[in-house]
Amino acid sequence: MASLLISILVIPLLSLLVIGWRRTRDEAIGRRFKTLLAEFVGLLGAFNVGDLIPSLGWINKLNGLDKKVERVAKEFDDFLEQVVEEHVSKLNKPYQQEERKYNNDDNNSTRNNNDSDGDGDSDNKDFVDVLLEFQRGNLAGFPLSKLSIKAIILDIFAAGTDTTYTVLEWAMTELLKHPKVMENLQREVREVAKGRLNITDEDLDRLRYLNAVVKETLRLHPPLPLLFPRAVTRDVTINGYDVAAGTMVITNAWAIGRDPDSWGPNPDEFKPERFLGNPVDYKGQNFELIPFGAGRRGCPGIAFAMAMDNFVLANLMLRFDWALPPGMRAEDLDMTQCTGLTIHRKKYININDVHDTILTESERAISMLFQKR
């Protein structure tokens, strides 16, 4: 099940980079965190009557939405509090050890105190460690409270997990549906690897066809098809329509990516070659392709998300030969989408009869690659 594989890969890898959690931690905590994250993302895309008709906001109390929001918010805050406190304790260890070093004349005791478990090693810093160092040294130029740190962590997980693995999920779907494209991509990746077992960061700039595949996936399957709502800051007239200040504006990035005026007579066709030699990019400067939004309110995590997507997809293409189950044709692949803030496949992708082995080996291989970065 490729969809399950991708979701299992992305969340632990992001957890490793952001909060330093590896799979060796309590599995029950890990499972609860994934469930909590799924509930949180689901609530972001839930239908809220009060958003459209404020006078009917009381309905959320009857249908249980407000109660569920309060519960998830409380549980997530407790989890983030635990994460921050663990990192504060880890950062305090070197200071405590230094204090003991000068206050304790017992050389043996001093030596034992300095033999830490490695948690305070600056070489093993994660993103939360960096935020706490900014807080301690006031390096941000403004007070960085614990509440702000927890909000930043929440933003990263909310924006960086579901959307990231959605892109990988649809990329794998399109590649399975277009085996010739997959063959071309595997050929490029394996030529660049030259017999090595993994693709490195330095290799990504040379993978032009990989970049085209990811761009084409973003064009047809933007992770947030309606982006995030915007509010008009002043009265304005657009194409003869008067738009009042404070009006909510929703941008249909899905429709923009399939506009025949921008993409030709077959905009629904998956064709990465359209981006070879094409300067159009997804960074918000070309309005015909805005999966991450544009302007000052564009997604700040584009570089991180694309580095992860390209890195994982390249190594999946390098290490494994993917195929649909025997007897299943590419045109029979179900492309039905589910509803929500992010658009996933409605059904998992069944790869072949040994998908459990592929799942285990893929997770192990990609996790090892990220730990070496």
Residues in Cβ contact with 191 at an 8 Å cutoff, skipping those fewer than 6 apart: none
Q: DSSP letter at 239?
A: T
Query: CA nearest 6: which of 353, 272, 351?
Result: 351
Contact 315, 365 (CB under 8 A): yes
3-state secondary structure at position 140: coil
Phi, psi at residue 237, to the nearest 5°? -115, 125
The span from the CA of 87 to the CA of 19, in Å, is 8
Angle at 128 between CA 155 and CA 25, to 5 degrees: 95
3-state secondary structure at position 345: strand
Phi, psi at residue 234, to the nearest 5°? -150, 160
List 230's β-bridge partners, or say none: 249
Contact 344, 169 (CB under 8 A): yes
The structure tokens listed for 186 are 């595997």
For residue 299, say whether it is annotated as part of any ligand binding site: yes
* Binding site listing: 299
- Binding site for heme, by residue number, is 299
